[in-house]
Structure 1
């Protein structure tokens, strides 16, 4: 079963005809008989190749608009027969079934059909049946049959044939079978996921996830962990679709942090230049400005220490002036929708800095399903697309926030969505001035954020910490008044929080006693 198998007969039926003619010619030149169906057979004949129709072999024409053409014992017998089993060999002889040594199939373009927004019936018609059936049959019988499902493997097949006098080795057929089963699994996952959405089934009994390898990573979060990066086929603008202009390969942590940075900066409209600086998936500075250079400078001044070696995301075209500001310190990655030639020239001198451009920003309102693995299963949920506007705010204190405070409160609330819980964010004039993230106590986050603001005052030589006169956002309610009191003592003048604690009145009373304005959103932004 593990011996090399010479390729004498191939069945080719492909939707994606990239590289088809050259591959088929190379097979024919090696004496391989070509069987084919429909459009593939036509393309081969037009190219001057000799090809035999599957319908001629089966004795049945293609029917039902091509739905039935390869679902026949002559085809599947040729793929499934064990060549070293006397009963199988006898059955092949009795029923005039010839062996098929090589199957080349890529499936109807279902994913592409869904991606273009095709109607339900068109999507259904692009669900391949015969293709997956043949792929599974040939892959099961990899002891004798070589299965090819990806155009990028054509050259590997030819190289294998050249290296083995027209045969394929067992290990090669095993590898190709694994690739083939992964393809049909991904295809079925795409179909089942689409259909669940189409029929509004939010929690289907079984859930399948699939991805295509984009990059084998040197290691994961730590050097002793193996890792890889897979694409989900959604083409959502971001690190997965970006063009890298310079710098070494992205690492596992680079990819994770860059995604966090770009998703945050996408929250701001393009007419409002914005910059987010991320470290370990948490913002260490976020700001808007009249220009991207100003936005970057203001974000940098939130926490210059943490910004070192960070990830920078911009919501507009990176220009030369902004690039010159950025190269002032070591930065791992810069991601933006686009970059000018002048900006690229500035970065060219920093060979280790990765520059990524995406062409556009992701739609922060688009429905996305996220999942996280836990021992023995997956947690699945909708992406946190919650957005609060001024009209959603409920003033709960005696003093209402000023117009400027409202703008800063909404800014702080937007950032809070992207900070690990417990999250506390101080903001002044459209820029973060203190970020407290990931603490077990909300009071500790409040204190840490204020302390960072004081540290920056010392670095910048300011008379007082920027947190004085700021507003503060809490991603979840204050369970006690102590967190709010700590923020007030730090200098905050207004608060935005979800509300909903059994001690809300205690917190409101504490705010009124100190002259703070406070608004409730009715929405929480936990990010664990």
Structure 2
């Protein structure tokens, strides 16, 4: 293994032709011998470059519809030979193997093929074999060989050659090798994940997750924690695919909270009206429907103005001037929306640190997504909570009104996005009290009610908006005490999963208090 390795011969075989011609021209200008395959060779020749076909190197033509072309000792010997090993160099000489100093390969577009919904047979044909084999060989022999798997690294390669008189340093080759192994690892992860789904394996014996660095972060949840943000390659609308129009770089906590906000607001179809969600520490502190975005924002804000300060705002429709003018009245970290008109952008421009993210659409709330959480020694993997309830079972003597049912469904949707134990009071399509993350459901009910009392005082209202509200509980009431706390706060209707051993006691308490209560038969724990 040497520090400086000369670059005399390069093998190029790419499906993504971005920057290929410029790279080929730059290498040829430096006297590098170019070897290539199929469409890559044609593209280089069409640009006037002298290129040898890989078949000239191997003595074999491409065969089996291109499945076999680079799987040959002439290629892998040229990539794997140790230049400082006498036995290796003797074998090269005996068999006429030419050293390959640079491999430029990017793989068949397997992920893109899956993303566009291709059939099984077509997807199989887009599994690259020769490419990963060459990449792994070149990466293993990084003591002498440079391997480039991403057009983004072309400029760095040329700069490295210029800085070292046509040679590459060991550290540079090591960096390329690490990137190469990560790429083949991510590729294999994509193939194995697709195949598990294609053959109906919900819990395959081995499971791999991969990501691409989107940005390094200043720190994680706290300044002493290092962190980074990786994307998974999907095109789902959200914080990972959004365009940031202005504001400071997103932090770890910004990204986490913005994701929570956008997932929640995406539950509400913009065709059915405006919706706004305000998030603080990944919990909703206000969610509302409205006759306009401004109205929805104001109603969400009035649920808990104290917590909304420094929060994350998500909208289900494009941001307009009227809403923007309301938002900038207090300090807000991030606003995320499907779009924004020029007037709204002009308003936000006066707040240079306010981050504005545009997604060009909402996230599909029913998308088949895998949730992953690391624990000591392993990972917990589950499907995204896409649970929907169509049929509600009335458990009490008193049945809810149509207006109460509408509020119940809204409260139930919001409760799905609140940390357990979750209690959500709703009135007229807006949250009026949210209790989140408590060890006791009773405490969640109490905290939410106290918040409503505080807001009533701040807004100059004669009584808290929980009076006459509905209340949602993300899981069953194990005792009647939490239910009675909600009734004491003024709730008149309840939506909860049911299923407690003491359901009869809870139903009897609801009947005695004159409450209407429905069971969903489904819970929404969110830990």
Give the secondary-structure state (helix, strand or coil) at the position aligned to 1:512.
helix
1:72-471 to 2 correspondence within 5 Å?
72-271=72-271, 272-389=273-390, 392-471=391-470
Question: Number of aligned pairs?
Answer: 526
Specify the alignment match of 1:495 in structure 2: 494
1:143 alignment partner, SS class: coil
C-alpha distance in structure 2 between counterparts of 1:335 and 1:160, whole Å: 40
Give the drift of 1:387: 1.4
Tell me the distance in 1 between the aligned counterparts of 2:173 and 2:2: 10
CA distance in 2, matches of 1:246, 1:73: 53
Distance in 2 separating the partners of 1:278 and 1:57: 61
**1:260-301, CA deviations, whole angstroms, 9 ceiling, x for partnerless residues?**
000000111112100000000000000001001000000000
Distance 2:511 2:461 in 1: 29
Report how far residue 2 of structure 1 moved.
2.7
**Cα deviations across residues 340-368 of structure 1 (Å, max 9, x unaligned)?**
10000000000010011100001101111
- How far the C-alpha of 1:235 sits from its partner, in A, is 1.2
Aligned to 1:30: 30
SS in structure 1 opposite 2:456? helix
SS for the counterpart of 1:387 is coil
- Partners of 1:206 and 1:266 lie apart in 2 by 32
Q: Aligned to 1:40, what secondary structure does the other structure show?
A: helix
Q: Which secondary structure does the structure 2 equivalent of 1:334 belong to?
A: strand
Distance 1:38 1:270 in 2: 48
Gaps of 5+ in 1: none
Partner Cα separation in structure 2 for residue 514 and residue 64 of structure 1: 77
Q: Give the deviation of 1:234 after TM superposition.
A: 1.1
Q: Which residue of 2 aligns with 1:11?
A: 11
Offset, 1:243: 0.7
Alignment map for 1:508-519 (pairs within 5 Å) = 508-519=507-518
SS of the equivalent of 2:173 reads: helix
Q: How far off is 1:67 after superposition? A: 0.4
- Determine the C-alpha separation between the residues in 2 that align with 1:138 and 1:171: 15
How much has 1:3 moved relative to structure 2? 2.4
In the alignment, the residues of structure 2 paired with residue 116 and residue 138 of structure 1 have an alpha-carbon distance, to the nearest angstrom, of 31
C-alpha offsets along residues 457-502 of structure 1, whole Å, 9 cap, x if unaligned? 0000100011111000000000000000111111100000000000
Supply the distance in 1 between the matched residues of 2:57 and 2:432 (Cα, whole angstroms). 75
Distance (Å, rounded) in 1 between the aligned partners of 2:510 and 2:2: 77
Question: Which digits, 9 at most, give the CA deviation of each residue in 1:500-524, with x for residues without a partner?
Answer: 0000000000000010000000000
Distance 1:523 1:2 in 2: 63
Q: Distance in 2 between matches of 1:518 and 1:341?
A: 46
Q: What are the superposed Cα offsets for residues 128-169 of structure 1, whole Å, 9 maximum, x if unpaired?
A: 000000000000000010000000000100000010010000
Structure 2, unaligned stretches of length 5 or more?
none
Which whole-Å CA distance do the structure 2 matches of 1:111 and 1:409 have between them?
41
Instruction: Encode CA deviations 1:311-350: one digit per residue, 9 max, x unaligned.
Output: 0000001110010111110000000000010000000000
- Alpha-carbon shift at residue 201 of structure 1 (Å): 0.4
Which residue number corresponds to residue 474 of structure 2?
A: 475
Secondary structure, in 3 states, of the residue corresponding to 1:24? helix
- Measured in 2, the distance between the counterparts of 1:22 and 1:245 equals 31
SS in 2 for 1:183: helix
Q: Distance in 1 between matches of 2:269 and 2:3?
A: 62
The separation in 2 between residues aligned to 1:144 and 1:366, in whole angstroms, is 46
Alpha-carbon distance between aligned partners in 1 of 2:110 and 2:474, rounded to the nearest angstrom? 40
SS at structure 1 position matched to 2:241: coil
Q: TM-score with structure 2 length normalisation?
A: 0.99
> RMSD across aligned C-alpha pairs, in angstroms?
0.5
- Compute the displacement of 1:57 (Å): 1.1
CA distance in 1, matches of 2:225, 2:472: 36
Please give the alpha-carbon distance, in whole angstroms, between the structure 2 residues aligned to 1:292 and 1:350: 20
SS of the residue 1:283 aligns to: strand
3-state SS of 2:270 partner: coil
